[in-house]
Structure 1
Amino acid sequence: MRDTPLPATRTGRLERPDGAAIHYEVTGSGPALLFAHGLGGNHMSWWQQIPAFAERFTCIAFSHRGFAPSTCPGAAPDPRDYAGDTIALLDHLKIERAVFIGQSMGGWTGIETALAHPQRLAGLVLACTTGSLSFDGLDDPEVADWYASREAIREKLLAENVHPATGAVFAEAEPGLHQLYGMIDRLNAGLDKESVRAAIWSMRKRGPEDAARIACPVLMITGEDDIVIAPAGIRAVARHIPDVRVCSVPATGHSVYFERAALFNALVEDFIAEIGWR
């Protein structure tokens, strides 16, 4: 049992010039950690991370534009606006630098922010993602094998009512958490996610020369059962990032932060300590 209560959370809403509104929550104090969710989430995705870090860090969780309760003009957001929203949020909160922690789609936000505003990131955690850095042109045979098998695995998961952004091991071992994952995903049931998916995939054109420009330390985490982003692709991209660590988690799908939260938190904790973000 805890001897002291958790730090209080304050919520806010950042109005953007084009009419979008970004919902955010800030918990704790200290050096800043900025959490960016994936296509199947929103700011609530980080419920297992915020309590683990908020006693020592300022934890900022936000919903990307268009993801509830944030809003955007039109039927679906343009992911090319995500990095600008991120910098605007840091400016709004008067935070000069942060460690950025991005899951899946959040990795697109992280990569674009790191390349356009390198001075604002003290570190970058890419969770099951390479963001806009492509691994398709790197001629990795393991990536080719992954593409050849992923669709059959995905169909089997769907037939068994397992969310394809998690995995069969997680669904069997943690049915309650698996249900919660789906409920958070369904909070955005009215959003045209296929349009967003197509948009982020169209941005995934950056090559090794862009990976080499990432100036901050990077931690890349992958689940070895991931059928959304190739684990081998993450390793292939990592070979071109100057200051990088790669951690592979067995028997885990696309959402290590949710499926194996304690391990994920420990990996991030070690990374933060190693880069001296205290």
Structure 2
Amino acid sequence: MDFTAPPRQRQMLDRPDCRIAYEVSGSGPPIVFAHGLGGCYMSWWQQVAYFAPRHTCVSFSHRGFFPSTAPEGGPDPREYANDLAALVDHLGLGDITLVCQSMGGWTGVEYALMRPGRVRKLVLAATTGSLDPRQMREPERGRLAGWARDAAEARTAMLGRNILPACGPAMAEAQPALHHLYAQMDKLTTGFDKEAVRARMGEMRRRPPADLAAAGCQVLFIAGGRDQVIAPFAAEAMAPEIPGSRVATIPAAGHSAYFEHAATFNALVEAFLAEPA
């Protein structure tokens, strides 16, 4: 059997204060992947391999994340959407589908609002990005404080057992090789304080959910039922305020469903892409 792998190129994009590493694989309608705080452009290996035969898959590392470079003072999430805009223009992608995980949701929400109508479809996985859960509807808003307290305790317990909260106990026990690989990718990024980035993300999280309606795109929230980093019920509370949005939950998944349950995650994204605009 003759097989030809999809074409692939890896390059760097110069920005005024840093360099952005990116990889382009495959051909067809473009999908851009924005990773989370524990990742880099390589995090999407299971998605790129799946979608590249039918799509141009662009995965990139946010400023400061391996092997991109960081400006002095470390990366500022307020620049993420500008970096993405520069990359989209550099590659001449035009309108895109955007798949975002956790921290990448800040990039996705802000980019979609920066360029209304230019995002065909937006996937927000384990994230609400800069949309503020404290402004979501009741009764979910009333559950947030208790969930945050319990989740913080659960994350502390995980770290005491050498389990990454972004993976969770289920992945660590059932798929130790994946947990190990995730930890290796996480350790590739050095040279700045990730907690400072997390704090800057918190400062950006001020938008009411209804703001995203201005982006004019379909939105799929993918929640992990066992997520102890982002409240999984936040998506259900926000979706009714955003026309064209819906929620899919992977009950057995932790914070990183795209990594832990890739086949299920990919199927949800593919079905979403097949829906009429």
TM, length-normalised to structure 2: 0.95
Name the counterpart of 1:226. Answer: 227
What code does the residue aligned with 1:9 have?
R
> CA 1:245–1:209 in 2, change beyond 3 Å: closer, same or farther?
closer
Structure 1 outlier segments of 4+, above 3 Å: none
Mapping 1:57-68, distance limit 5 Å: 57-68=55-66
- The equivalent of 1:95 in structure 2 is 93
Pairing partner for 2:105 from 104, 107, 114: 107
**Alpha-carbon distance between aligned partners in 2 of 1:132 and 1:239, rounded to the nearest angstrom:** 17
Q: 2:52 aligns with which of 51, 54, 63?
A: 54
Aligned residue number for residue 77 of structure 1: 75
> Would the aligned equivalents of 1:217 and 1:275 in 2 still touch at CA under 8 Å?
no
Please show how residues 164-179 of structure 1 align to structure 2 within 5 Å: 164-179=165-180
Partner Cα distance (1:269, 1:209) in 2: 26
Question: Post-superposition shift, 1:216?
Answer: 0.3
CA separation in 2, counterparts of 1:132 and 1:208? 9
Matches within 5 A, 1:34-53: 34-53=32-51
Q: Secondary structure at the match of 1:251?
A: coil
State how far apart, in whole Å, the 1-side matches of 2:240 and 2:132 are: 13
Deviation at 1:3, TM superposition (A): 4.7
One-letter amino acid of the structure 1 residue matched with residue 222 of structure 2: I
Q: 1:275 to 1:196 in 2, by over 3 A?
A: farther
- Give the corresponding residue for 1:142: 143
| 2: CA distance, partners of 1:275 / 1:255 | 27
Deviation at 1:158, TM superposition (A): 1.3
Please tell me whether the aligned partners of residues 39 and 105 of structure 1 are also in contact (alpha carbons under 8 angstroms). Answer: yes
Partner of 2:11: 12
Q: Which residue number corresponds to residue 121 of structure 2?
A: 123
Deviations 1:131-152 (A, max 9, x none): 0000113342332331231122
| Residues 204-260 of structure 1: CA deviation (Å, up to 9, x unaligned) | 000033133231000100101111110111221222111112011112111010010
Aligned partner of 1:157 in structure 2 is: 158
The percent identity for this pair of structures is 51
Q: How many residues align?
A: 274
CA contact (8 A) 1:214 1:241 kept: no
Residue 49 of structure 1: SS of its match in structure 2?
Answer: helix
Alignment RMSD, CA only?
Answer: 1.4
Question: 2:267, 2:210 → 1: CA distance?
Answer: 31
Q: SS of the residue aligned with 1:152?
A: helix
Residue ranges of structure 2 left out of the alignment (5+ in a row): none
Q: Distance in 1 between matches of 2:117 and 2:239?
A: 21
Matched letter for residue 144 of structure 1:
A
Give the AA of the match of 1:70.
S
Deviations 1:58-107 (A, max 9, x none): 00000011111111321311111111111111110011111000100100
Distance 2:73 2:147 in 1: 33
Measure, in 2, the Cα distance between the counterparts of 1:189 and 1:225: 28
Contact in 2 for aligned 1:218/1:245 (Cα 8 Å): yes
CA shift for structure 1 position 190: 2.5
Match for residue 255 of structure 2? 254
User: How big is each residue's C-alpha offset from its partner over 1:155-179, in whole Å with a ceiling of 9 and x where there is no partner?
Assistant: 2211221110111111111001100
Asked if the contact 1:6–1:51 (Cα under 8 Å) also holds between the matched residues in 2, the reply is no
Q: Which whole-Å CA distance do the structure 2 matches of 1:176 and 1:208 have between them?
A: 37
* Whole-angstrom CA distance in 2 between matches of 1:130 and 1:40: 17
**Residues of 2 paired with 1:45 and 1:242: CA distance?**
30
Q: Distance between the aligned counterparts of 1:62 and 1:225, measured in 2?
A: 27
Q: Partner amino acid for 2:59?
A: A
- The CA distance in 1 between the partners of 2:174 and 2:237, in whole Å, is 31
